[in-house]
Amino acid sequence: MNDSAFAIDVRDVTKTYTSGSLEVQALRGVSFTIAHGEYVAIMGPSGSGKSTLMNVLGCLDRATSGTYFLDGADVSGLDDNALAQIRLKKLGFIFQGFNLLARTDAVKNVALPLFYAGVPLKERNAAALAQLAEVGLSDRARHKPNELSGGQQQRVAIARALVNDPAVLLADEPTGNLDSKTSAEILSLFARLNGAGRTIIMVTHDEEVASHAKRVLRMLDGLVVSDAPPAKPAGAVLTKS
């Protein structure tokens, strides 16, 4: 995908939220690297800074200090427009709540990033349909989010995240709103994508879910406290791929 050494390289990243006189140190100096093609889970108790880290990695937010190399390029000091461009070209974000546009069909949802990238309508739709096929939803292309199950909605969201062929796929609790069977579907999709070389970073509270990743970063109070392979051996899904 790219010849730079790491997909992600963060050094001493901190994030401090100030609301009035109150300061919250959500990240207190986080450093790690993630190579291309890795599949990493981030775990940790509530409030430990997982979402904050994901927002920084996803270029939705800026670190208070520290440096962040994404796909070999320093993105720490970029302005809003440049960050938007990075999100558009290099990152795919998947949310716990799917965040699809309501009353808008699957193809249109998936094609949305291409719209902002200035791709013409026909190519957009073709690419979106191809991506929907990739996540196994060809037959639901014209359905609207409220006509889809939670798992299907999340797969539409994944297709949308992938449609720009991003360097990194970021997922903040992607199975948080799903039952275990649907979660398994999403996880097997992730495993397949990772098998095809996609870099995936996923936040989860569930050890079972985390066990599908090949590496687990554990956070506590705004710090990464452990970095190791998953505790339990990978489940059936992984062996299948």
Ligand X SMILES: Nc1ncnc2c1ncn2[C@@H]1O[C@H](COP(=O)(O)OP(=O)(O)OP(=O)(O)O)[C@@H](O)[C@H]1O
Q: How many residues bind ligand X (CB under 6 A)?
A: 12
Round to whole Å and give the CA distance between 128 and 111. 5
Residue with tokens 């079972």: 208
CB 128 within 8 A of CB 110: yes
215 binds, among Mg ion, ligand X, other proteins, none (CB under 5 to 8 A by kind): none
Cβ neighbours of residue 145 closer than 8 Å, sequence gap 6 or more: 98, 100, 101, 102, 103, 104, 106, 109, 153, 156
Among 19, 21, 146, 239, binds ligand X (CB under 6 A): 19
231 binds, among other proteins, ligand X, Mg ion, none (CB under 5 to 8 A by kind): none
Q: Which one of the spans 47-55, 128-136, 145-153, 157-165 is the region binding ligand X (CB under 6 A)?
A: 47-55
| Residue 170 vs 216, nearer CB to other proteins | 170
Q: Which one of the spans 49-57, 58-66, 124-132, 159-167 is the region binding Mg ion (CB under 5 A)?
A: 49-57
Maximum Cα interatomic distance, the chain, rounded to a whole number of Å? 53
Which residue in 183, 177, 167, 166 sits closest to 235, CA to CA? 183
Q: Which one of the spans 6-14, 101-109, 131-139, 175-183 is the region binding other proteins (CB under 8 A)?
A: 101-109
**Does residue 46 bind ligand X (CB under 6 A)?**
yes
| Residue 51 vs 204, nearer CB to Mg ion | 51
C-alpha dihedral sign at 196, 118, 93, 135: negative
Phi, psi torsion values for 224, nearest 5 degrees = -85, 120
For residue 231, the tally of other CB atoms under 10 A from its CB is 11
Instruction: Please provide the size of the chain in residues.
Output: 241
Q: Which one of the spans 19-27, 47-55, 141-149, 189-197 is the region binding Mg ion (CB under 5 A)?
A: 47-55
160 binds, among other proteins, ligand X, Mg ion, none (CB under 5 to 8 A by kind): other proteins
Among 30, 44, 75, 113, binds other proteins (CB under 8 A): 113
Q: How many residues bind Mg ion (CB under 5 A)?
A: 1
Site string for other proteins, 32-71 (x = CB under 8 A): -----------------------x--x-xx----------
Phi, psi torsion values for 218, nearest 5 degrees = -105, 135
What strand order describes the sheet that includes 73-74?
A: 22-35, 6-19, 65-70, 73-74
**Site for other proteins, rule CB under 8 A:** 55, 58, 60-61, 80-81, 84-89, 91, 93, 95, 99-104, 108, 112-113, 115-118, 120-121, 160, 164
